[in-house]
Amino acid sequence: MASDPASAPAREPHPGNGRRAVLRALTGGGALAALSLTTAPQAAAAAQHTAPAASSDADPFALDRFVTSGRVREYWIQADSFPHNAVPNGRDGMTGMTYTADQTTYQAIGFRAYTPNWGSPLPADLGPYGIGPNSGIPGPVLRGEVGDLIKVHFRNNDAHYKWPHSMHPHGVRYSPDNDGGWMADDAKKAGTAVAFGESYTYTWQCTPGSVGSWPYHDHAAPQVPPRPATSGGTQGSSQGSAKGGSQGGGQNGAQSSGAGGDAHGAQSFGGGGGMVGEIGAELGLFGMIAVTDAGTPQVDREFVLFMHDLSAGDASGRADLSLCNGAAFVDNAPTFTAKAGERVRWRVGTLGNSFHVFHIHGHRWQSPAGWVDSQVLGPATTLTVEYREDNPGEWLYHCHLPAHMMRGMAGRYVVTR
């Protein structure tokens, strides 16, 4: 794997009257990101009092051209299956509720980075330009600079389910052969459903429009998860996979459960017993792509946070959980730390059927809409927040949908002097 990218010298933002010297806050993977990225990075960093706006002379039809830097960033990634307890200490530090391991343990699948030829897992690197904990959920941070090629050698080692898997990127440029998205009408297309024990190499380009935070995830064939025994001792359904024919059973989604719920899946995440789309991603096969350019500010801390949901029906009958990086509830979800005076960057992503609201207690940042302390994220979208830390204390970060918070989507953010 290539070394971490060299960052541009730190730039001091233009002084202003705001409480924080915010560098910039961009939403990735949506219209706001596209608008923000049409402006010069220096201008985005300097804006303090008004919401960033798209340049009036920006050409919406301009091509996002790739000009190679001649550098290839190479990763050896493996999909591993493993038992995973989302609440290892058995307690929610916010509400005081307790849980048993059998309620919160499921068979997960996660991406891990390895030495060349999948020799051995790489050690954790929690620095601002590292791959992260490399524990599987989320997968390693894949990094590139504008002009780089990201080459990913992927191997499927899902020894538990033995399902096919793939890697599908957002934000970078790629050809159809490097998409990783499975379709029933071309079911044997290479790289879209890599069988257990097999491998495939993807090549992605980092263009100027790729700067920001983007998810990557499994996008292989839908699968029918193994169902737990019912109270009558029978199986709900057996394992199966998409064969290109008609889909049996109910359609998975926020509305399909008999339990009902709001339009964003606040009541239930579960399916109706049929095939589940992107079930590999639900069980942990996802990660972050971070692309920088010469205008990307240096930071002292970078936090990668995924907000995602786990359906009890899709995870062998355990409780519905709302997770932060594969863990649920305060003191199980990651505790992020920073010091006053440090430059901090959050790369926040979402996956699943639900909308989420990212909120940090005691903090504000500037968005395209102005100063905020909460931002809405739809499924498979991202948010990049950068600021200089100035508020020591122990704080909560969480999804502001109460049902999601009660199902575990909350953690601590600790700032020291």
Per mean pLDDT, which range of 25-34, 139-148, 343-352, 367-376 is the poorest? 25-34
Token pair belonging to 54: 């798209």
Residue 400 scores a pLDDT above 80: yes
Strand-pair category, 393-399 with 410-416: antiparallel
Whole-number pLDDT of residue 231 = 45
Whole-number pLDDT of residue 228 = 66
Tens of pLDDT, residue by residue over 245-259, are 333 333 333 333 333
* pLDDT (average), residues 113-122: 98
Q: Report residue 12's pLDDT band, with 50, 70 and 90 as the boundaries.
A: very low
Q: Report residue 273's pLDDT band, with 50, 70 and 90 as the boundaries.
A: low
Whole-number Å distance between alpha carbons of 397 and 222: 33
Number of Cβ within a 10 Å radius of residue 66: 18
Q: Report residue 239's pLDDT band, with 50, 70 and 90 as the boundaries.
A: very low
Whole-number pLDDT of residue 317 = 64
Q: Are 165 and 280 in contact (CB under 8 A)?
A: yes
Whole-number Å distance between alpha carbons of 411 and 24: 23
Q: Are 86 and 52 in contact (CB under 8 A)?
A: no
Q: Report residue 74's pLDDT band, with 50, 70 and 90 as the boundaries.
A: very high
Whole-number pLDDT of residue 396 = 97
Sign, Cα dihedral of 218, 220, 225, 226: negative
DSSP-assigned states of every residue in 152-172: EEEEEE-TTT---B--EESSS
Percent of the residues in the chain that have a pLDDT greater than 70, as a whole number: 75
Q: Report residue 406's pLDDT band, with 50, 70 and 90 as the boundaries.
A: very high
Residue 35 scores a pLDDT above 80: no
Residue 79 scores a pLDDT above 70: yes
Biggest CA-to-CA distance, the chain? 68
Token pair belonging to 48: 């303090």
Single-letter amino acid, residue 43: A
Whole-number pLDDT of residue 319 = 82
What's the length of the chain?
417
Strand-pair category, 382-388 with 24-28: antiparallel
Per mean pLDDT, which range of 110-124, 166-180, 238-252, 392-406 is the poorest? 238-252
Average pLDDT, the chain: 81
Strand-pair category, 72-85 with 149-157: parallel
Residue 240 scores a pLDDT above 70: no
Q: Report residue 18's pLDDT band, with 50, 70 and 90 as the boundaries.
A: very low
Tens of pLDDT, residue by residue over 304-339, are 999 999 998 888 767 899 999 999 999 999 999 999
Q: Are 390 and 400 in contact (CB under 8 A)?
A: no
Residue 152, strand partner residues: 75, 202
Residue 385, strand partner residues: 25, 346
Whole-number pLDDT of residue 56 = 57
Whole-number pLDDT of residue 234 = 37
Whole-number pLDDT of residue 230 = 52
* pLDDT (average), residues 353-379: 94
Q: What is the 3 state secondary structure string of 235-247?
A: ECCCCEECCCCCC
pTM score, two decimals?
0.80
Whole-number pLDDT of residue 372 = 95
Q: Are 335 and 292 in contact (CB under 8 A)?
A: no
Cis peptide before 379 (omega within 30 of 0): no
DSSP character at residue 36: H
Whole-number pLDDT of residue 335 = 98
Q: Measuring CA to CA, which residue among 29, 30, 12 is closest to residue 21?
A: 12
DSSP-assigned states of every residue in 246-257: PPPSBPPSTT-S
Whole-number pLDDT of residue 66 = 96
Task: Kindly list the strands in the beta sheet with 393-399, ordered across the sheet, starting from the edge strand earlier in the chain.
Answer: 336-339, 410-416, 393-399, 356-360, 374-377
